[in-house]
Structure 1
């Protein structure tokens, strides 16, 4: 199974600068994410990885990466992972997010989003928990999120 998003990712990232271009395309579609200038480094069914560089525009008053920048990276990677994994005829939207800030976030940060359970086609709407871990260059976990995605069948627009 290949979703349109996954096909685009695989096609674009073969080119030089493709990861940057893919991130720009995503940020064009969802402009708010451009505020963190993310890079998506891995996208496959059931997994998305992305990075966030520590630069002035994402820092808080104490010089670390702002908590909401971490939330943005978590939501972005979780959403892309779900979109790349979704069976045909299903749609999704984030429904809730629980986060834990575990340590000061500094330097280049790496997020990994994974589903907490299998993603399956269904005839009824249901919640899908997605777990996101963000680590610093040393491998220390600085942030955790659990994002509940609401999955539902696409309704026939003729009904």
Structure 2
């Protein structure tokens, strides 16, 4: 039997609260654990356990020289969302590790950026059963006007913690 994952238990519990409180609690814990996400003020909008949606507001501190969300901030958002969904679906005795990030910036973005990262049922089952392995997390990035400014391939590995 898989070791219980405390992060997944937390997410499942706060998802029972009103949406505004659930968002606040998940975002606060994530920002505390992932310091750079806290600095950039990344927000978790929602998760159902199979997918998660993150938001990066187009704030001055994350802008580039032309006033849009910086390329590095978009990469942080994609890495954070994909890592979160992998992290909550692994057994508690496994450690998620980013293996590959392929980023292709295709359009100039406008406004805030949202990222949805998701896993299939098959990927989740594999993560629960195998002591180590890797998954290609589906990531969709959109800006404030619905344009896809970044195509990303995020491959996450997992290994035993000890």
Question: Structures share a fold, TM > 0.5?
Answer: yes
Query: How far apart are the structure 1 equivalents of 2:62 and 2:38?
Result: 11
* Equivalent of 2:6 in 4, 7, 17: 4
TM-superposition CA deviations, 1:42-99 (whole Å, max 9, x none): 2233311111111111100011110000011111101110011113543211122111
TM-superposition CA deviations, 1:112-140 (whole Å, max 9, x none): 112376131213x3221113211023322
Structure number having the greater helix percentage: 2
* Equivalent of 1:93 in 75, 92, 97: 97
Query: How far apart are the structure 2 equivalents of 1:44 and 1:84?
Result: 11
8 Å Cα contact 1:130/1:148 also seen in 2: yes
Alignment of 1:125-140 (within 5 A): 125-140=132-147
Query: How far apart are the structure 2 equivalents of 1:74 and 1:33?
Result: 11
Query: How far apart are the structure 2 equivalents of 1:33 and 1:127?
Result: 23
Specify the alignment match of 1:142 in structure 2: 149
Specify the alignment match of 1:22 in structure 2: 26
Query: How far apart are the structure 2 equivalents of 1:152 and 1:38?
Result: 26
RMSD of the TM alignment (CA)? Answer: 2.2
Query: How far apart are the structure 2 equivalents of 1:42 and 1:83?
Result: 15
Under a length normalisation based on structure 1, what TM-score does the superposition of the two structures give?
0.84
8 Å Cα contact 1:112/1:134 also seen in 2: yes
Alignment of 1:5-154 (within 5 A): 5-12=7-14, 14-15=17-18, 16-115=20-119, 118-119=123-124, 120=126, 121-123=129-131, 125-154=132-161
Give the number of aligned pairs: 154
Unaligned runs of 5+ in 1: none
Unaligned runs of 5+ in 2: none
